[in-house]
A and B are shown apart, each in its own frame.
Chain A
Amino acid sequence: MRVLYSFVAVLALVLVSFLGGKVTGLQYLLGVVLPYLAFGVFIVGFCNRVIEWSKSPVPFQIPTTCGQGKSLPWIKYNRLESPNNTLEVVGRMILEVCAFRSLFRNTRAEMHDGPKIVYGSSKSLWLFSILFHYSFLIIVLRHLRLFTEPIPFFVPLLEMADGMMQIGAPRLYATDVIFLAAIAFLFSRRIILRHIRYISLPADYFPLFLLFAIGVTGLLMRYYYRVDITAVKQLTAGLASFSPALPAGIHPIFFIHVTLVCALLVYFPFSKLMHMGGIFLSTTRNMANNSRSKRHINPWNDPAIKPHSYAAYEDEFREFMKDADIPVEKE
């Protein structure tokens, strides 16, 4: 059922935008008004979410470490797995953001006769995630050719590298294939593995369906319906230059693609996709493990409450302690 809801939601988006894409008046709505709205919601919603997060205090220094922490000078410590200063934290974060280091540690638990539980390494999720994310990044960067005029130098380079195999005309991009294959894997993982299926919600399936539909409509535009790319660029680059023009004769499939992308942009700030910003704010990763060398003060602390040392405590309660036969340091 949870799969079906998400599937129907995406299907409904496709149908609505298909019907809209056929009517000239609605084409303007879908091709010009909706992208501006969606982009606005994306930017404002994204910033709003991050600012909201930043309002939560982090009372304790809570990095999760996976290596020897810094202590005595002759004990070698692990700079990346147990960072002690900001520079080392930055190194750790770069690996986390660019190489999904914590996902690389993903494990799988299996029950054997005995009963005995066995944990094993499980890298497939990491592999397909990283394939998916980098393909998506390259695809987004490649799309800059439609939004920029002049086109920045790196876009043709990316296109050339991506289409290196020179399969067909127009050239087949490796990232398109990897993108769809990786989503198919991430989806089938949620369907096939019982324990993952059990915890999967419509909010997990919906982005997968949506991204898959975006990829498929993109490929259809390129290989089947063969949308007039110069007309499309007049529209999209016009959007980025704030002088939108809607050339006639763009196939409805383009409006389906655009509407789905807009749906993704609108959905983004309100969903788990916010991990794009959230990864930078993950407190177990972005803090230094230096609570032994540096004092961290809980921002919640009431400044009126002063520190109370044991000596002061004993001074205050010495008589009571003596009465109760509790040993005291100073008589």
Chain B
Amino acid sequence: MYNKGKIIPGLIIFVALMLFAVFNNAGKKLEAPKPEKPKDHKECVLPLAEINKTHMKLLNDWRDEVIREGNREQIKVEGKMYERSLQKGCMLCHTSKKKFCDVCHEFASVYPYCWDCHIAPQEPQEEMVQQEAK
């Protein structure tokens, strides 16, 4: 083998880079995200399997229809009318951004730009108290 002094360190760097994720994860426990679901509501605007997959598209479409086209038609869930809106709709039931949205988003490194325009709602009182206690 020629040029050992360059080949071997080169290969070590290559293998180390390829195994980056392994070193990065070492010693950390992987936990599946568990977003907190609203206790007093059972139904969402779409069935669970679908809202899981398409909520981002739904919100995007709502924004286009409501803000850009001015179509403020409301949506009916559990017999009650809701506005097609993130803050005046979704977040009436899913009150906490931290305990609902962020749980999965942070796990999957998804940073939607909802909060570029919207002011993130105040977290529910219960959590505020807990944080103060800490």
Measuring CB to CB, which residues of chain A are less than 8 angstroms from any residue of chain B? 39, 42-43, 46-47, 50-51, 54-58, 144-152, 155-156, 159-160, 166, 168-170, 226, 228-230, 233-234, 237-238, 240-243, 247, 277, 280, 299
Contact = CB atoms under 8 A, between A and B. Distances in A.
A144 B1 contact: no
B32 interface: yes
Contact of B2 (A55, A145, A155, A168): A55
Contacts of A229: 104, 108, 110
Interface residues of B, number: 35
Contacts of A57: 2
Interface in B1-48: 1-4, 7, 10-11, 14-15, 18, 20-22, 24-26, 28, 30, 32-33
B115 interface: no
23 contacts: A47-B11, A47-B15, A51-B7, A54-B1, A56-B2, A144-B20, A145-B109, A147-B21, A148-B20, A149-B25, A150-B24, A152-B24, A156-B109, A160-B111, A226-B53, A230-B32, A230-B108, A233-B107, A234-B32, A237-B30, A241-B22, A243-B30, A299-B2
Contacts of B20: 144, 148
A169 B59 contact: yes
Interface string B48-78: 0000111011011000000000000000000
Contacts of B110: 170, 229
Contacts of B11: 47, 50-51
B21 A148 contact: yes
A228 B24 CA distance: 23
Contacts of B112: 169
B54 A226 contact: yes
A233 B108 contact: yes
A151 B109 contact: yes
The binding surface of chain A is classed by DSSP as: helix
Contact of A58 (B2, B14, B60): B2
Given A144-B21, A226-B53, A149 B1 contact: no
B24 A145 contact: no
A277 B108 CA distance: 31
B115 to A, nearest CB: 13
B65 to A, nearest CB: 14
Interface string B98-112: 000000100111111
Contacts, number: 95
A230 B110 CA distance: 11
Contact of B108 (A144, A145, A242): A145
A240 B7 contact: no
A128 to B, nearest CB: 26
Nearest to B26: A241
Which of B4, B33, B53 has most A Cβ within 10 Å? B53
Contacts of B57: 168-169
A277 B24 CA distance: 24
B14 to A, nearest CB: 7
Nearest to A39: B18
Which of A56, A169, A240, A241 has most B Cβ within 10 Å? A169
Contacts of B30: 149, 234, 237-238, 241, 243
Contact of A54 (B3, B26, B33): B3
A150 B28 contact: yes
Given A234-B32, A241-B30, A50 B25 contact: no
Nearest to A226: B53
A310 B69 CA distance: 94
Given A54-B1, A159-B109, A241-B30, 6 more contacts: A50-B11, A57-B2, A145-B109, A149-B30, A149-B107, A150-B28
